[in-house]
Structure 1
């Protein structure tokens, strides 16, 4: 029982201590809230409102001020009063044990204080905004009034610089001044919302007027003085050049001058309407047109001395190319009687002659224009440049053709000399083979020999034609030379096989009686020699058996044969007697 009593006492002490701590914390919060409330109540909103009331606001600005004033009134009449009541209730409740109600009231007080702080900020910002707008608009009245006075002075002092634009500029300034008066009235009346709208438009229109005043003088100066002076200079220059027999081709100088003058007049109207962007575009076009006329006249002035300097040179160039062409065509006509010209040389020379005639016609027409004083020198200079290029290419082509046919006679002489050598070689090979006194010749060898012989005969026939095709002759010479070299090689192989075979068959006789295989091989080799005319096979047959009976005998006999051959080769002897060797 005692323990229970002690427990109850301890619990009561804990609760009591907790209540004391809670009351202490609540009292601290109450003090903080009262300080915050006092701070908010000390904000001089009333003074600020009275100061703003002196601005004599109207319209929406007045409505905005009244809304701010109502917020302040609600704060003083309701919000702060509720806060005082709640703080008093909390102070009473905290002495008891109504914790829930106390906590609810604390939360409500905090909300009301936060709301009051926000509304105070709102009122302060609103009043500050109204004062700033009022100051801004009054300053704008002062600034714009001075600015319009300065613009008026500029238009009066420099009205000659604006040409036909002056009336439009003055009307624009007068309209701005009317709008300014309206703005000043709204500002003085305190209707700053409407004044702000008017001010924005005023600033845009004023900037546009200042831009026009800055841009128009330069544009007008070009149209009023610069371009007309240049056109007058062009007209004077044109008259002087015309008197000196200058012409300008398809360019109508005076017509373009009139067209540019029309553009100037029309662009002055554009400038009168204050359309500076459009006027600037047309000014650029006018400037380009004037530059074009200067360029045309300058081109003719520059071209004339060059044309006069080129006249004799061009005439000499044409005459030289014509003489070269005539000489070439005469040479082709002469060569055409003896040679086939199969690279269109004659046709090309004829076409080049036609081109030269056209060039000469163009040159003569230009000379006539100069004589008649109707020449456009820039066009003639272009002709001269083109003719010079064409003549250079024509002479280059004519030189190529001439070089291509110049060696035909020498080629023919060399071809005939080579043909004689071919013929002699054929006879030398034939005599060399005949001197071997062989029983016969292999068919393959005879076929090749007669093939080469036919080639030589065909070449001789082609060389004896009335017109010789040297290109075809050259191809035949190359082919025959190759075939003749092969024939000579085949002839030497035939002779070597035949003579070696004879020597080895004779040498083998010493073994025929003692060696049956030698006797049999000798009989076979003789048959291949006398009946088959296969001298290489005959040599192979007898050489193989001799090397078996007497090793090394074939190599020894072959070496001795080639030593002897170098001294007595009948084919080489005949060839050494050829005209080519001599």
Structure 2
């Protein structure tokens, strides 16, 4: 029973707390809306409206003034008091705990106040627009009036140079006068916004008319005088060039000039009708066309001179090419008797002969094109340049072949010199072997010297065989060089190993009687030494001495290393 009572008390407390919280929120919202209402009341809307009293209160201005004042009076006298009563009702509803209904009415009140604020904002904007229009009109009408006088004066001065467009421009200036008068009438009637529209249209029309009065004489001068003069001059140049054996059937010069004449007539009609939008662009295109054709005539004249000069040079160059080819064939025949030519030399020669034949045919075709005027001189110049490039390539090929043949003769001399040097090197190596007094010569050294000797004999025999195969000779000489080089290295290595092995045996004999296990090792090592197996001798004695007398052996290695370095220094000086 006690728990039930406590539950009821808690429930009542929660309900009361919920009601207090919602009423507080609604009261806060009402206060916010009431503050917005107060701000609206304090807005200086009446003062804003009174700004137009300095204007002429009639017509459009009077109509707007009355509408603004009526709207503001309605807001102050009716709509804001309604808001106040509405807010009072919301508080009463909240006190009755009808919170949902109270919140719905808060939303309605907010929308109502927003509508009032929007109406006030509209009044202010329209007032600003009207007042600003009047101010701008006063500031700009004087400049527009002066502009009108300038345009009318400019029209009078330029009348004779305006051609048929003068009457249309005169009508446009009259229209400007009418707009000026309409502006005055609207301003006097208090219709400042409509006056503003007339003023803006007047400014735009004056600017357009001024630009047209300035541009039309320039355009007519180009259409009636400048460009026709260029066309006549170009036609005269074309006729003169045609009389001097030029042909323009490969170009569109005549068609372009006829098109320019037709375009000028069309453009003059547009200028007379003041349709100037595309005239300047079309005139620029015409000028570009004339410039391109003038450049074409100039290039064609230059090309004719180059072609006529180049034809004679081409014949002379072709004769020189044939002479160079004959020289190559003669040199090749002489070399072929004593030397085997490299692989591909025959196909290279055939290729050169074919290229010479092809370029001769192209030269004849070129002369035919020139004689019969089948191409423009500009095209002929391009073909002439290509022919010269082809001839340069053939000349380079011939020169390269001549140099290659001359190199073959030089290869023989160089091979003889190399053979002599290898023989000297071989003799020195053999002498060094004899002088070394090795107990036995290693088999590898014997094989290397034998191989090198055979390659030297092979190269010698090849150099005495005609025709010489220089590629095989060079390969044999290279094999000889490698064999002697290996033998020389092997000999040096064998001498060094023999000396070190002998020194180790001498060192080991000092301790022969101190260690019972040492004599057999030394005896076997000496046997290997006498048979030429110096590396085995070094390995066996080194392992024994490192184990038995490590300290003494280490000193020996150090001493021998220093001695070897001194010997290497002496050899490098020699």
TM-score class, shorter:
0.5 to 0.7
* Aligned-residue offset at 1:487: 3.3
Which position in structure 1 is the counterpart of 2:381? 381
Which position in structure 1 is the counterpart of 2:153? 150
Residues 144 and 203 in structure 2, CA contact (< 8 A), matched pair in contact too: no
1:487 aligns with 2:490: no
Which position in structure 1 is the counterpart of 2:409? 409
Q: Distance in 1 between matches of 2:183 and 2:522?
A: 145
Deviations 1:355-401 (A, max 9, x none): 44444444433433444456633333334444444444443443233
Which position in structure 2 is the counterpart of 1:59? 59
Distance 1:322 1:65, change over 3 A: same
Deviations 1:90-134 (A, max 9, x none): xxxxxxxxxxxxxxxxxxxxxxxxxxxxxxxxxxx9999899789
Which position in structure 2 is the counterpart of 1:239? 239
1:222 aligns with 2:234: no
Question: What stretches of structure 2 of length at least 5 have no aligned partner?
Answer: 1-49, 71-127, 503-518, 541-559, 561-574
- TM-score by length of structure 2 reads 0.58
RMSD: 5.7
Deviations 1:386-434 (A, max 9, x none): 4444444443443233223313134224435654775798699889989
1:213 aligns with 2:175: no
Moved more, 181-190 or 448-457: 181-190
Q: What secondary structure sits across from 1:341 in the alignment?
A: coil
Q: What secondary structure sits across from 2:340 in the alignment?
A: coil
Counterparts of 1:266-281 in structure 2, within 5 Å, are: 266-281=266-281
1:194 aligns with 2:194: yes
Q: Distance in 1 between matches of 2:134 and 2:533?
A: 136
Which position in structure 2 is the counterpart of 1:339? 340
* Aligned-residue offset at 1:228: 1.3
* Aligned-residue offset at 1:243: 0.7
Which position in structure 2 is the counterpart of 1:320? 320
* Aligned-residue offset at 1:261: 2.4
Q: Distance in 2 between matches of 1:137 and 1:452?
A: 111
Residues 253 and 293 in structure 1, CA contact (< 8 A), matched pair in contact too: yes
Which position in structure 2 is the counterpart of 1:162? 162
Residues 448 and 487 in structure 2, CA contact (< 8 A), matched pair in contact too: yes
Counterparts of 1:3-22 in structure 2, within 5 Å, are: none
Q: Distance in 2 between matches of 1:309 and 1:262?
A: 40
Deviations 1:421-472 (A, max 9, x none): 7579869988998999999854333322332234335445655776644245
Question: What stretches of structure 1 of length at least 5 have no aligned partner?
Answer: 1-44, 71-124, 503-518, 542-554, 556-582
1:368 aligns with 2:368: yes
* Aligned-residue offset at 1:221: 1.6
Moved more, 216-225 or 387-396: 387-396
Q: Distance in 1 between matches of 2:163 and 2:358?
A: 59
Q: Distance in 1 between matches of 2:151 and 2:188?
A: 19
Moved more, 213-222 or 417-426: 417-426
* Aligned-residue offset at 1:164: 4.9
* Aligned-residue offset at 1:179: 3.7
Deviations 1:514-539 (A, max 9, x none): xxxxx999998996688x36699999
Residues 186 and 192 in structure 1, CA contact (< 8 A), matched pair in contact too: yes
Q: What secondary structure sits across from 1:276 in the alignment?
A: coil
Q: Distance in 2 between matches of 1:265 and 1:494?
A: 107
Distance 1:528 1:176, change over 3 A: closer
Q: What secondary structure sits across from 2:266 in the alignment?
A: helix
Distance 1:359 1:189, change over 3 A: same
Moved more, 267-276 or 287-296: 267-276
Q: Distance in 2 between matches of 1:406 and 1:215?
A: 77
Distance 1:524 1:208, change over 3 A: closer
Distance 1:173 1:474, change over 3 A: same
Residues 151 and 209 in structure 2, CA contact (< 8 A), matched pair in contact too: no
Counterparts of 1:102-121 in structure 2, within 5 Å, are: none
Alignment size in residue pairs? 439
* Aligned-residue offset at 1:241: 0.5
Residues 304 and 378 in structure 2, CA contact (< 8 A), matched pair in contact too: yes
Distance 1:69 1:539, change over 3 A: closer
Moved more, 176-185 or 521-530: 521-530
